[in-house]
Amino acid sequence: MKSQFYKNTRVPLLYSLIFFAVCLLTITGCSKDEQDHAPAPKTFVLVHGAFQAPYAWQFVKTKLEAAGQKVVIIELPGHGQDQTPPSSITIKTYRDKVVSAITAISGPVVLVGHSLGGAIITAVADTIPGHIEKLVYLAGFVPANNQSIFDLTAMDPNSQFGPALIISADGSTASIPNDKIMQVFAQDGTEAVKQLLIANNRPEPIAAQADKIFLKNPSFASVPKYYIYTNQDHAITIDLQRKMVSAAGIKNVFAIDSGHCPMLTKPDQVTDFLLQIIK
């Protein structure tokens, strides 16, 4: 009778063990697959452009953090709530603010610069290349050695940015009227984006844009570089973007069919590209 009991229980027990093993392998396989596709956590340092402030990165920051990433947004001197006198701001002032933030972070970072921020991250990466894992330009200026932002804008005759500027009496700042800011920066944006731009519109320090960028560190060349084109850009036209990318030899490129500020108008796409870049 005991023998019969073992016969009756052995087969169901064997099936149960096999079923459990299959389930375990399936779960483990799915977990590994998910881990293979999910990018490992990185620290993104985001640098805004002219006429903007940390608010410009708010949507991308939220989405990156939701994907498990760490995010640090830099507030440039003379922007947002910062009251640094415009006349005292140089490209080195911007560079040093970003360098200070990065050197306080443990491990290398993914450094992203939009517009004016592109020139700044170039100077930063030349100063501390060992702290930069990847350098990403989003519609950003990419100055060559001994080149300024003014030098680059002179190569962009179809830009709507320059004609919209009103220079202050003392020459230290430039302004863009509220009725023109949308057309220059985000013609593809919503009414909510328009109100964000207007609410945060303040005069822009301009002396730094005449400063030359000097690239002295040979290690700068080895920092992996990426560029995200903005195909419908009215501020830095796609023609100038392509010229700068070609001159810099940047091979890793993406493109968004947007105006100058896709982090405000198309944050999903910007976030997706940034996550692709770190895989």
How confident is the prediction along the chain (279 residues), in pLDDT tens digits per residue? 444 444 444 444 444 433 444 343 343 443 444 445 667 899 999 999 999 999 999 999 999 999 999 999 999 999 999 999 999 999 999 999 999 999 999 999 999 999 999 999 999 999 999 999 999 999 999 999 999 999 999 999 999 999 999 999 999 999 999 999 999 999 999 999 999 999 999 999 999 999 999 999 999 999 999 999 999 999 999 999 999 999 999 999 999 999 999 999 999 999 999 999 999
Domains of the chain: 41-277 (3.40.50.1820)
C-beta neighbour count of 162 within 10 angstroms: 14
- Cα angle at 204 between 125 and 223, to 5 degrees? 10
Residue bearing tokens 């709530």? 81
Q: How far apart are CA 177 and CA 65, in angstroms?
A: 34
